[in-house]
Structure 1
Amino acid sequence: MVTDVNQARLDRAASIYTAEFAASRGIDLRYVNTGKMEDPVKELKSISGDQGYDDVFVFAPVRPVVEQGDAILAFDGCLNFFAGPGDPNFSAMLNFYNVHYAYTHIVGTSGGNNDDMKEAIEIMSGGLDPAGLVTHIGGLDAVPDTTNRLPEIPGGKKLIYTHIDLPLTPIDDFEKLGKENELFRELAKICKRHNGLWSVEAESFLLNYFDHK
């Protein structure tokens, strides 16, 4: 179950990770706009057969979202607060009755260690495609400014190629930049063939371009 209140984001996610593909792997994947629900907690729990959910991941540091995530936990359910808040006083109400009697619990994810990286690579080699996470590419020269302004830059992961010089560039801007730049013109064509996503083909073209520049 993937929830959001922004239909455009849900539609984009659904076009990248389709329900049909998930079904072929035995997964019932649904995209739900909770902004259209009168009672999101009640309706989300009803989808689960009123059992709640074993794992709930919260990707936005928004109090109502955290509280909603807590409210839909199943017995022994885990709320994973993945989103790192910028406000040191950020807080939300949690049901501690359920902590005691329903064994609900909370974890906070702030990054991975080397073992996590190895596991991620192993999972990717088994077919998990992380391309949907990448929204920008850049070279080593883009790192200082990107690091300093990261909270202000929208989108997902910023993929940095440390052996080239390239401004941090959104994939969505390739086509516009390609009107005057050969590199981005070709990258735009490649990404379009891959549903607007970064890909091995795009990376190979990029690296070959700089190798022969």
Structure 2
Amino acid sequence: MMKTKAVRMYGTMDLRLEEFELPAIKDDEILVKVISDSICMSTYKLAEQGKKHKRAPQNIDTNPVIVGHEFAGVIVEVGDKWKDQFKPGMKFAQQPALNYKGSLASPGYSYEYFGGACTYCIIPHEVMELGALMEYKGESFFEASLGEPMSCIIGGYRGNYHTNKRDHSHAIGTKADGDIIILGGCGPMGLGAVSYGIQFENKPKRIVVTDIDDAKIERAREVIPESFAAEKGVELLYVNTAKMADPVQELKDITGGKGYDDVFVYIPNRAVAELGDKLLAFDGCLNFFAGPTDNLFKGEINLYNCHYTSTHIMGTTGGNNDDLIEANDLAARGIIEPAVMVTHIGGIDSIAEATMNLPKIPGGKKLTYTQFDMPLTAIEDFGKLGETDPLFKKLDEVCRKNRGLWSSEAEKILFDHFDVEA
């Protein structure tokens, strides 16, 4: 038996940080120590819907579930069935999109003893049977936590397709040397998509990223400069569509009037989705990536273009095991930078409040470390706090050296300060 501290959901907007006993693991289970857990908007949607959420059990008021699904840590104890594959002390990453025998159960939504917003949890047998628990060999834990959202981004790039009327085959993935536009792309997931897109093997000629907030656009330029993309052979443009008299025409003009081969819609907004449809080139693929909370969310598409110019629409959600493996490998080798997504750092005590107020908190990803308490703090506030707090002074110096980004070095400073064994 081991005690854990965890954020558990009892009902709609009812998240509680509590300490309780975990049962002894079974032969087909694994006990892990969670180190990092980034907060996903999907968890806010879970909290908002409570029992109405399709992944939430109906007995959460008496058997609450641990929230959080973007987590990483260290294996502590291994059941006999898995001792040849996993060892205590191994770092781990995990793919939460299980779909085990048709079940919608998923960590962070459905399990009493399995989720990311905790100090320790139990990995159930279905996770290993699906190969969804993986050894992680990267230096930092936060990049493994961000492997899950990065795997969703990768799944989007690989899920797009293009048609061929000669033999009716479908070419999977975004179009090589094509034009990509990421609508509403200056948020955390959009920036992750830019980081991946400039090195994807189906490398586009151009990536256009839109937003309506100048501050978000300027931060995007700071963390992924156009010049950096140019070094990778990709033209990168950030544009504010709110300042355009005719967004459709002006965005098409960037492509010489052709339109975009791949359109990603990264915010659940009807006008933005309909804009995306109007921007499609011949055989263009629109990926509705953003997940709405309204199950009747709709938008108009041009079926004339669908028929005559082969435009098509699809949606992707989540990534598979291969996507997660790729995300963690690319991050470990420094090819992509998941840190571009992160704007806030906190401890386990900040998770419940941050999750329930997520849409109201500006910035990108909220990254939390579960082995200590720390208020949720914006990276841009480190400097001011550092005037009186030596910890934040150190963190500010390290982040400033790194274009304002979180890093392995910053993570180690926190671990040393809070005496975290990882």
TM-score over 0.5 (shorter chain): yes
Structure 2 stretches lacking a partner, 5+ long: 1-207
Q: Which residues of 2 match residues 77-96 of structure 1 at below 5 A?
A: 77-96=284-303
Q: Cα distance 1:194–1:139, how it changes in 2: closer, same or farther (>3 A)?
A: same
Distance apart, 1:65 and its partner CA: 1.3
Q: Which residues of 2 match residues 174-189 of structure 1 at below 5 A?
A: 174-189=382-397
CA distance in 1, matches of 2:264, 2:357: 26
Q: Which residues of 2 match residues 21-170 of structure 1 at below 5 A?
A: 21-124=228-331, 125=333, 127-170=335-378
Q: Relative contact order, CA 8 A, sep 6+: which one is greater?
A: 2
Larger-Rg structure: 2
**Paired residue type of 2:255:** S
Q: Cα distance 1:32–1:74, how it changes in 2: closer, same or farther (>3 A)?
A: same
CA distance in 1, matches of 2:287, 2:399: 32
Question: Which one has the bigger strand percentage?
Answer: 2
The equivalent of 2:216 in structure 1 is 9
Distance apart, 1:80 and its partner CA: 1.7
Q: How many residues align?
A: 213
Cα RMSD after superposing both structures:
2.1
CA distance in 1, matches of 2:293, 2:393: 37
Distance apart, 1:126 and its partner CA: 5.2
Question: Does the CA contact (< 8 Å) of 2:223 and 2:404 recur in 1?
Answer: no
Structure 1 stretches lacking a partner, 5+ long: none
State the secondary structure of the residue aligned to 2:412: helix
Q: TM-score, normalised by structure 1?
A: 0.89
Q: TM-score, normalised by structure 2?
A: 0.47
CA distance in 2, matches of 1:117, 1:70: 29
CA distance in 2, matches of 1:87, 1:176: 40
CA distance in 2, matches of 1:120, 1:13: 20
Q: Cα distance 1:10–1:60, how it changes in 2: closer, same or farther (>3 A)?
A: same
Distance apart, 1:164 and its partner CA: 2.4
Deviations 1:175-195 (A, max 9, x none): 233333322222122212222
Q: Cα distance 1:114–1:145, how it changes in 2: closer, same or farther (>3 A)?
A: farther
2:410 corresponds, among 188, 192, 202, to: 202
